[in-house]
């Protein structure tokens, strides 16, 4: 389930974000704790070997190796590589969110332009919206593990009421090597044309409006399919992963406490490498963020609630084109029929902004 914390940060207060640091669900701690524990265990194991197993000569050799690893690990451009990758992954994540096919615009056009309160009119409107929702179910079933788990077979979609048995036969009988999520939208277009011939759609302008909204809906379904098909290039994902893993592999040796080369040097022996662990938390956590948002159609805590959106879409679209079609409340004079606007108590009334130059006072000067 998508983790929402908007209410917690509605007001900017002292330490406002700090209250979010102790949440587990959807947190970086839940994503990263396994890798963090492995890193700590490996670091402790190497540290124990250095302190308890190696002799003096071996410790000197290990110390030179540690200095060498620490020196060259700093050459890996971690901030640049990770920052650019996560930026691209976030833009891709937001693009997928904005491409989600919502039927709201389409259902308003169908409700307002496909007329008839008889059974035939109701059936036309409901079938049109069912086709639109069926198309989104088919595309989401192809890209979302949650939807695929809910509808493992096409027969399950029939059982859920998004498609009839006859429509399933037509879908299966069409020979195509490619994804057939577009078929219900083709049925929508032809059914809308039939409604125009029957006079249910009053004119060609209304039909054109239906087709325009249908094409917008289809383009979003298509974009979701292409986002699933075309990923961020694999080579870049591999480069980022190798960079992070190799950096911390070298850090396991390079960040160990070793005896100073010169006896007079004073070095603090930190048994717990606090700053190295913080660095691991930041960089490895950054990589985990990219891993989380690169595909939001999985089953992570912050992935999109595709099943909930499917249920919402079918419900509101059927309500809009059936229950609410021509079901209007009676017209009445509103509260401000005579009064020109809402009145506020004087204690809460604020000055109305009229523009930044509204209160300027020009000074007239006389120049000799």
- Per-residue pLDDT at 231 exceeds 70: yes
Cβ-based neighbours of 57, under 8 Å, separated by 6 or more: none
The pair of structure tokens assigned to 282 is: 């930041």
User: CA-based angle 197:203:207, to the nearest 5?
Assistant: 80
The pair of structure tokens assigned to 335 is: 């509260």
Cα distance between residue 117 and residue 122, in whole Å: 6
Query: What per-residue confidence (pLDDT) applies to 269?
Result: 65
pLDDT tens string 105-154: 999 999 999 999 999 999 999 999 999 999 999 999 999 999 999 999 99
Q: Is 341 exposed, middle or buried (0-12, 13-18, 19+ CB in 10 A)?
A: exposed
- Per-residue pLDDT at 368 exceeds 60: no
Cβ-based neighbours of 352, under 8 Å, separated by 6 or more: none
Q: How is residue 301 annotated by DSSP?
A: T
pLDDT tens string 140-179: 999 999 999 999 999 999 999 999 999 999 999 998 889 9
Which one has a higher pLDDT value, 213 or 16?
Answer: 213
Lowest mean pLDDT among 15-29, 30-44, 77-91: 15-29
| Three-state DSSP class for residue 353 | coil
What's this model's pTM, rounded to 2 decimal places? 0.85
How much is the average pLDDT of 51-79?
Answer: 87
Compute the CA torsion angle 74, 75, 76, 78 (nearest 10 deg). 60
Based on DSSP, count helices (H) and strands (E) in the chain, helices before strands. Answer: 13, 0
- Per-residue pLDDT at 216 exceeds 70: yes
Q: How is residue 250 annotated by DSSP?
A: H
């Amino acid at each position: 389930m998508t983790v929402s914390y908007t209410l917690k940060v509605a007001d900017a207060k002292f330490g406002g974000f700090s209250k979010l640091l102790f949440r587990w669900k959807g947190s970086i701690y839940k994503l990263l704790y396994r890798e963090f524990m492995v890193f700590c265990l490996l670091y402790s194991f190497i540290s124990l070997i250095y302190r308890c197993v190696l002799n003096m000569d071996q410790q000197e050799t290990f110390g030179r190796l540690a200095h060498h690893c620490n020196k060259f690990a700093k050459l890996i451009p971690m901030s640049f590589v990770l920052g650019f990758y996560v930026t691209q992954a976030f833009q891709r994540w937001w693009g997928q969110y904005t491409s989600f096919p919502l039927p709201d615009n389409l259902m308003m056009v169908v409700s307002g332009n496909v007329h008839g309160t008889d059974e035939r009119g109701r059936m036309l409107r409901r079938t049109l919206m069912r086709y639109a929702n069926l198309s989104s179910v088919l595309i989401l079933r192809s890209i979302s593990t949650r939807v695929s788990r809910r509808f493992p077979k096409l027969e399950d979609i029939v059982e859920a009421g998004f498609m009839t048995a006859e429509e399933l036969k037509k879908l299966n009988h069409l020979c195509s090597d490619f994804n057939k999520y577009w078929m219900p939208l083709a049925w929508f277009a032809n059914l809308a044309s039939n409604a125009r011939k029957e006079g249910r759609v009053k004119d060609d302008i209304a039909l054109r409006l239906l087709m325009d909204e249908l094409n917008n809906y289809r383009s979003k379904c298509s974009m979701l399919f292409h986002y699933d098909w075309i990923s961020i290039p694999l080579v870049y994902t591999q480069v980022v992963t190798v960079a992070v893993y190799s950096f911390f592999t070298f850090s396991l040796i390079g960040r160990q406490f070793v005896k100073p080369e010169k006896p007079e040097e004073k070095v603090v022996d930190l048994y717990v490498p606090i700053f190295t662990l913080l660095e691991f938390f930041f960089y490895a956590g950054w990589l985990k963020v990219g891993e989380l948002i690169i595909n939001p159609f999985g089953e992570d805590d912050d992935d999109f609630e595709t099943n909930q959106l499917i249920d919402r879409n079918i419900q509101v679209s059927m309500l809009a084109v059936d229950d609410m079609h021509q079901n209007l409340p009676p017209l009445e004079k509103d509260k401000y029929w005579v009064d020109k606007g809402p009145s506020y108590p004087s204690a809460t009334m604020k000055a109305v902004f009229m523009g930044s130059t509204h209160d300027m006072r020009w000074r007239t000067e006389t120049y000799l």
